[in-house]
Amino acid sequence: MIALFILKLSAGITLMWWLMPRQEVTDGFFRIQMRVLLGLSVLCALLLSGNTDAAIDGRQASESHVRNQSVEPDTSLAQKMVATSRDVAGQTKVVSIVAAVTAYVGSVFWALGRKFPGNLCIHLLMVLTALSLGLHSWHATTDCSFLQQLLSDFSSAAVLGGVTTGMLLGHWYLTTPTMSIKPLTWFNIAIAVAVLGRLVGSGWAVAGAGISLPDTTQQMWLGIRWAGGIVAPGFMCVMVWRILKHQNTQSATGVLFATLVVVFMGEMAAALLEQDSRIPY
């Protein structure tokens, strides 16, 4: 579950790099960002190296399937699901290692001021992380269609990546106060679009499965998910928009930092809820 969270965060960060107006931001920002992704990719590969989480997820999925169908346990089904989970984990681990190497090379290019190869690394990292997250969506053991799972995963990634990269960009204004405010304004709009996508994905899940969760803990997770992953970043966009009218990047960064903590809580609660209920709320 932690590896999946890191994978979503990495995919969201690289997506924001790929879409943002990079020409408006100094090279040093991307040098540091590459090192951030390097650490995330290495951590993801380490978490997946034992395949322990994959085996647990596969076993839990098969047990849930048995309970829902009210039949005797199917050992072959459980073994097949565990094997599939391990295969996906192994493939994701390889992609994470390649992403780590690419991020290291990219940090060198941006440190030397070589924008063209640095941008090529950004394109490659976006493809690698999106491929890994799409692979998870394809093999996810949830009670929904692939399209719904894909929307859920990538909208969550976009919210995580938008708030994280926007907050780090806000801190970058402390070292380069003369930089244009347009990139931070762009991030505020991008986060609003990501929140809208997350709202559509959650609404799709509610329309298909409802919100009648039998367990109190699941209901609490759902509340944290909506409050932290949808409501909080939505209010943040309004606050940052009003703050940026006064060209106050430090206050906007403070709001982004506070929202980042809440968003992390919301997405972790969503991961717990999805693992337990097999619905991507």
pLDDT tens, 114-143? 999 999 999 999 999 999 999 988 988 888
pLDDT at position 89 over 60:
yes
**What does the alpha-carbon distance between residue 134 and residue 208 come to, in Å, rounded to a whole number?**
22
- The rounded percent of the chain whose pLDDT value lies above 70 is 87
pLDDT at position 59 over 70:
no
Residue 154's pLDDT is what?
Answer: 96
Give Cβ neighbours of residue 260 (< 8 Å, ≥ 6 apart): 163, 164, 167
Going from the C-alpha of 130 to that of each of 72, 134, 136, 211, the distances in angstroms are 38, 6, 10, 29
Least confident range of 78-82, 145-149, 194-198, 219-223: 78-82
- Of the pLDDT bands very low, low, confident and very high (cuts 50, 70, 90), residue 51 is low
Task: State the helix-helix crossing angle for 182-209 and 232-244, rounded to 10 degrees.
Answer: 160
Residue 207 falls in which region: left (phi positive, over 0), alpha (psi -120 to 50) or beta: alpha
Q: Chain-wide mean pLDDT for the chain? A: 87
Q: Among candidates 139, 164, 214, 227, which has minimal Cα distance to 14? A: 164
Per-residue DSSP letter, 46: H
Task: Report whether 25 contacts 165 (CB < 8 A).
Answer: no
Residue 281's pLDDT is what?
Answer: 87
pLDDT at position 1 over 90:
no
Residue 109 falls in which region: left (phi positive, over 0), alpha (psi -120 to 50) or beta: alpha
Q: Where are the alpha helices (DSSP H) in the chain?
A: 2-19, 27-48, 52-69, 75-111, 115-139, 146-172, 182-209, 216-226, 232-244, 249-277
**What does the alpha-carbon distance between residue 192 and residue 212 come to, in Å, rounded to a whole number?**
28
Give Cβ neighbours of residue 84 (< 8 Å, ≥ 6 apart): 58, 139
Q: So where are the chain's domains? A: 1-141, 144-281
**DSSP string across 117-158:** HHHHHHHHHHHHHHHHHHHHHHH--SSS-HHHHHHHHHHHHH
